[in-house]
Amino acid sequence: MRGRVVMGLSFFFMGGFIMMLIVKNYRTLQTVQDTRVLTSDDTSGGKNVLKPVCKVDFTNVYSMDLTTWSKNNKVCSECQNFIKATLKTPYGNTPIFVYPAAQDPWVSGILISSGHFEAEKSSIMFDLLKSDPELNLIDIGANIGVYTLSAAKMGRKVLAVEALDRNVRHICASVAGGGLQDKVTLVHNAISNSNGVVNLGVDKNNMGGTFVDVDSDHIKKLKEGRAQGTYGTVHTIKMDDLLKIPGIENFKKVVVKMDIEGFEAKAMEGASLFFEKIKIVGFIMEWEFHRKQKTADTILKFMSKHNFIPHSLSSAKQKLDYTKSESWGYDVLWLPKG
């Protein structure tokens, strides 16, 4: 009887010890799941692999409130769930952290399946940058960083501006994952014609379609019912404000890529000093939301005043007719006269 009691007590304590291990392992598993990255390095459709990740080794992130630039140490500090894909560039592959394809089919889905996005526009950007080894990129409306990472992989400095915080976190992870920290300065603000606070509108199933929800009725109409809800608020800055950000001395001669979902005219209204101080050899601008809109007139007058001529965004770079801007393509390439 005594032996049975001793044996029973032994099993009791052993069982308690095993339960402690199970609880501990479960808590550890929870932590791993909360900080995991879903990788998809095999873009041909191979198995996705879960990997834990938390800290991001990239701190060159800035934000501006109504008056002052400061380091933003918060936006990329939290653990996130990401999908890790591979961005293929002429200068080598680099990791890019994307959204699930079902959530963002237009950009993330294409990157997961092919490793490329907007190949023709990227080719134009590369051609412009190759024309001068001193040229760097200013990427306004960086989304999850396709152009930012591509130019950085090329060895150029990049000043990337993105309004949506979750996109900023994707860029931080991608920059760190590719070892490109010395090439990229990231700004978490929206670009406008004044300093203030705005709401960011949701484009359902298109993370790159996030828009500033100010005077945006025609933008919502063009989105054909996909504009649903808000992501919250963000501070706005002018392009002129970029002249005061630390490190701007690296961007005296640049290519600019701007894709801010119909807010390009507002951006131009706050960019006069920027165009005077920065030598811009090429300006790639989304045009889709300006066809047959008053915003087209604002942009045309501004660019004409600063001696830029519109061209098609193709290898031919054909000059476009100012009087037929309603029939221009989705994007336009502005080149300086002469």
Render pLDDT for 47-95 as a digit per residue (tens, 0 to 9).
344 355 567 889 999 999 999 999 999 999 887 888 999 999 999 999 9
> Identity (one letter) of the amino acid at 153?
K
State the Cα–Cα distance between residues 149 and 162, nearest whole angstrom.
Answer: 14
3-state secondary structure of 288: helix
Q: Could you give the C-alpha distances from 140 to 52, 174, 225, 284, 303, in angstroms and in order? A: 31, 17, 25, 10, 17
Render pLDDT for 118-173 as a digit per residue (tens, 0 to 9).
999 999 999 999 999 999 999 999 999 999 999 999 999 999 999 999 999 999 99
Q: Could you give the C-alpha distances from 35 to 17, 55, 68, 97, 155, in angstroms and in order? A: 28, 9, 33, 14, 30
State the Cα–Cα distance between residues 99 and 294, nearest whole angstrom.
Answer: 34
What CATH number was assigned to the domain covering residues 52-336? 3.40.50.150
- Contacting residues for 305 by C-beta, under 8 A, at least 6 apart: none
pTM of the full structure: 0.85
Let me know if 23 is exposed, middle or buried by CB neighbors in 10 A (0-12, 13-18, 19+): exposed
Instruction: Confirm if 185 and 160 have CB atoms less than 8 A apart.
Output: yes
Instruction: Confirm if 264 and 146 have CB atoms less than 8 A apart.
Output: no
State the Cα–Cα distance between residues 124 and 85, nearest whole angstrom.
Answer: 23
Which residue from 152, 143, 96, 87 is spatially nearest to 119, judged by alpha carbons? 87
Q: What pLDDT sits at residue 110?
A: 95
State the Cα–Cα distance between residues 110 and 101, nearest whole angstrom.
Answer: 8
Render pLDDT for 14-57 as a digit per residue (tens, 0 to 9).
444 434 443 334 333 332 223 344 544 444 344 344 355 567 88
State the Cα–Cα distance between residues 160 and 19, nearest whole angstrom.
Answer: 50
Query: Rg (Cα) of the chain, in Å, rounded?
Result: 24
Mean of pLDDT values over 174-201: 95
Which residues face 70 on adjacent strands? 63
